[in-house]
Amino acid sequence: MKKMLLLLSSFVFAILFSACTKANAAPAQNASPSREPLISPEVAKLGRVLSGMSERAKAAMPNGNPQDFLADLHKVLEIEKTFRTDDVSLYYLIDKKHNIGSDYVPKDLIPVKGNDLWNVSRNDLSLRPEAYHALEDLSRAALQDGIKLLVSSTYRSYAYQDRLFARYVKEDGLELAERYSARPGTSQHQLGVAVDFGSITDDWGDTRMGKWVYQHAADYGWSLSFPQGYEDVTGYMWECWHFRYLGKEMCAFQKKWFGDIQQFMLEFIDGWKRAESY
C-alpha cells in the first residue's frame, strides 16, 4: 500500500469505497476472478471503527498511513497483554456512557502518604500499584527541577463518589453538577489510576507546578483527562489538575494519532476491541 499524506480516516474510507466499487462492478469478459482480498481485514476493520467515531475525533487525527497507525496500535495492545489479569485494564473506558460496578475496587491499593517525594492534602489517599509507582517516577523528576508535587485526590470508592455527587447536586443543581462531577460508577477515580494535583482550581495550571506537570506528565505515562475546550467530547468542564495514568506508550500513541485527546483514543481502543475482524 502506498504511503499517502491524507487524513488517516479519509484514506481508509477511500480504500473501502474503492473496494466496494470494484466488488460491485461487472467482471470483464473472459477475465479470471481475483482471489486476493481488495484490502486487508485490519484496514477494513479500521475503517469500520473510525466510521463510528465522532466527526470531531476523526478531524483530530493527523495525516498518516493506516499501516503505520496499525503498527502503533498493536504495540500498545501488546503492552496491554502484560497487565495483571485480575483487575480491569489500564485502558478501561469509563465515562458518562461507560461505567463500572458499585462493587468494583482496584486490587492492592497502595496508600498515598506524604513523604520525601510529594505532599498530600489529606491522609486517606490511595492508588492502584501501577499508578503509584508512576507517581513516584513523576515526582522524582519534578524534585530534580526543584518542584515537590501536591497530591490532592486519588482513588474514590463508588460510595464516596455517590456522596460527593449528591452534595454537588444539592449545592449547584443537577445540570451544573453533571458538568464538573461524575455520577457514581463513572469516575476515573474509582479505577484508582487518576490523580488531582495541587489546589484543584483553574489557576493551578498557571503555577510553576502546574506548568511542569503539563510539560512532563506524558513522559511518565500520565494523561490530562479533561482538556480545555472539549466539554462536548469528555462530558466535563476543563480540569487542568486531573491526570490519568495510562503508560508512556499510550500517551505517545494519544499524542501522535489522536490530537493528544485522551477521550478520542480510549473511545477508539474500546471500539477496536468490540469490532468484528472480517
Q: How confident is the model at residue 33 (pLDDT cuts 50, 70, 90)?
A: low
pLDDT grade, residue 276 (50/70/90)?
Answer: confident
pLDDT category of residue 37 using cuts at 50, 70 and 90: low
Q: Please say if the pLDDT value at position 7 is more than 50.
A: no
CA distances from 211 to 34, 73, 202, 247, 272 (A): 57, 29, 12, 20, 34
Q: Which residues of 62-80 are buried (b: 16+ CB within 10 A; e: fewer)?
A: eebbbeebbebbeebeebb
Is the pLDDT assigned to residue 24 strictly greater than 80? no
Whole-structure pTM value: 0.88
- For residues 90 and 17, which has the higher predicted lDDT (pLDDT)? 90
3-state secondary structure of 201: coil
Q: Crossing angle of helices 248-257/262-274, nearest 10°?
A: 100
Please write the tens of the pLDDT for every residue from 206-218. 999 999 999 999 9
How confident is the model at residue 39, as a pLDDT? 79
Q: Taking all residues of the chain, what is their mean pLDDT, rounded to a whole number?
A: 90
pLDDT exceeds 70 at position 31 = no
